[in-house]
Chain A
Amino acid sequence: MTRTAPGTLSVQRVSVAVDRRTLVDAVSLDVAPREVVGLVGPNGAGKSTLLRTLYRAVRPTSGRILLDGDDVWRMPGRRLARRLACVLQEASGEFELSVHDVVAMGRTPHKRAFDGDGRADREIIASSLGELDVAHLARAPFERLSGGEKQRVLIARALAQRAGTMVLDEPTNHLDLRHRLDALRLVRRLGVTAVIALHDLDLAAMFCDRVCVLHGGRVVALGTPAEVLTPELLAEVYRVAAEVDVNPHTGTPRLTLLPGSGPREEAPFT
């Protein structure tokens, strides 16, 4: 059950432009081994696009991304997939793959043609199913699951890849409160390097070592949750008024949104 050693991820001045629109603008971000970095920002800030350059769904217009010093865009896909696992926003198909089949896909980068699933593979698949609390669904058709169950299965698939670095795009979407905590706690416990796009700033504050705030494709703040998640930043980036105090249980920042009191400059219909 060897897991690839946690990777060092280095995003170097990555830009993405599509149809002359700059979606990601010279983003640089260094992630140390075992560090968990939360990627936050309003809708359209470029979070997903930036993550997509990491798992090679979108080629950066400029800049490069190094994983342990190797350019991710210059290594064979299979080798990258053994070192970097992804949880994408839910994709649905028309086929009745079972939950077990979906998680077994995670073993593909480790396999050659005609290789069967060996005992080690079966153990990895079973333990991944168990970690995400979906073992009882193993034989159920993936298509028929609820959104939250699907999300957990997709996290289990990434887990079965046994990669040292993980990229997660809104992994807590569709999850109920308990499974949100479980999923993020699990990522922490794995001791992998992780970049997680999150909408929920309280969760980002609770589970991430550092938070990277994107706005309009640029990094506008990068630091520990306490450094970054300030009322001033929330007003500037999200255009909301909020109070930030310290969560007495975790010692991390806690946000309280103030209803109906957006910053004055955001007058409607101007």
Chain B
Amino acid sequence: MTGAAREAGADAAAPASPAVPRRLPYGLVLLLSGAFLLAAATAGVAVGSITIPAGQVWEILLHRAHPALAEPAWPAVRETIVMDARLPRVLLCAVVGAGLAVCGMALQAVVRNPLADPMLLGVSSGATVGAVVVVVFGVAWFGVFTLPFSAFLGALAALVAVFLLARSGGRMTTVRLVLAGVATAEVLSAIAGFVVVTSDDPHAAQSALRWMLGGLAGTTWEMFWIPAAAVLVGTLVLLGVSRPLNLLLAGEEAAAALGLDVHRFRAALFVLVAMMTGTIVAVSGAIGFVGLIMPHVVRLLVGADHRRALPAAALLGAGFLIAADLAARTLVSPEEIPVGILTALVGGPFFLWLMRRKAAR
């Protein structure tokens, strides 16, 4: 009797509640991510065949922003290296990394599956086909927008195809999703490869190879603006719809019951993600796993609420890809590894670990 009473008392005093994850305050996470991004960017601009001191990098940038901010005390060639070679590449890395991380997070919410990623779902391969077709056949209907637009169409087609393949009777299992994504990616990569190999223009084949491997070598300012605009706009829109994104995590019916027009919202997200991925792939090729790893790291740090997770994902994704690209061009210098190979080396094992953990649950 007393035992039962004690048990009941203990139960009331300390209900068996699941462990609350210990997290840093959100502001601190953002601050640290921002600091990481800034440090990576500084290192990315400073380090290379000619290493420039970090302080001088900032002086050059300040001088460019406004001549009164810093006295020029450096050889002109350094300014050229910073402004024309390294800065556009580092900034493009930031845009690509942020965009991929944000796209990965949005895709994971849309398909309600944490294994989604632009590359794994074949979206990047679709964009690659679009890009390769334009380059090999020399299409130029829309001037500078031809390439990103074609990549966007390829990405959208791949995304819709995978979604329809993975869904049967309104349900989508992880296995079907991953298989549909991998199969679509394989087929599209084969198509891209076929187009490149059968092309008789060696120059086109050379530049098409860039998309197959994923890399940011030879970035120029001209390549920067379109993806930068697409990623900026896309991220802002996603932040605006972060509440509806949360609803998707609750499931289709619950989301509809909470007032969301699920079908229209999903279609709009497909277009948005395809636009971001397409413009990204058009300049960087298919870089995998950034969109898989970053959302997971961010959810561990700040939780799954998209209002908090999206900004952190953008910052961390940007910093991560700058760091990865820095490693890609310094590890075996003067040779350069395509950064997609590095992210795959890190991301592949991560993906496997994630799958095992999910299966264990």
Contact = CB atoms under 8 A, between A and B. Distances in A.
B15 interface: yes
Consensus secondary structure, chain B interface: loop
A91 B259 contact: no
B305 A97 contact: yes
B249 interface: yes
Given A77-B260, A97-B246, A97-B305, A91 B18 contact: no
A269 interface: no
B20 A140 contact: yes
B299 A95 contact: yes
Contacts of B243: 105, 108, 111, 113, 115
Given A80-B259, A140-B20, A108 B253 contact: no
Contacts of A115: 243
A106 B258 contact: yes
B34 interface: no
A137 B259 contact: no
Contacts of B305: 97-98, 101, 104
Interface in B257-274: 257-261
Contact of B257 (A57, A79, A98, A104): A57
B114 interface: yes
A217 to B, nearest CB: 20
A97 B249 contact: yes
A13 interface: no
B249 to A, nearest CB: 5
Contacts of A57: 253, 256-257
B257 A86 contact: yes
Contacts of B249: 93, 95, 97
Nearest to A161: B258
Nearest to A78: B259
Which of A52, A79, A95, A137 has the largest count of B CB atoms less than 10 A from its CB?
A95
B98 interface: no
Nearest to A86: B257
B250 to A, nearest CB: 6
Contacts of A161: 258
B250 A55 contact: no
Interface in B8-55: 15, 17-21
B304 A136 contact: no
Contact of A77 (B250, B253, B261): B261
Interface in B89-145: 108, 112-114
A81 B258 contact: yes
A155 to B, nearest CB: 13
Given A95-B249, A114-B239, A114-B240, A108 B256 contact: no
B258 A91 contact: no
Nearest to A79: B259
A144 B19 CA distance: 9
Nearest to A97: B304
Interface in A197-243: none
Interface of B: 15, 17-21, 108, 112-114, 239-241, 243-244, 246-247, 249-251, 253-254, 256-261, 299, 303-305, 307, 358
18 contacts: A57-B257, A77-B261, A85-B257, A88-B253, A88-B254, A91-B254, A93-B249, A94-B113, A95-B112, A95-B114, A97-B249, A97-B304, A98-B305, A105-B247, A108-B247, A113-B241, A114-B240, A116-B307
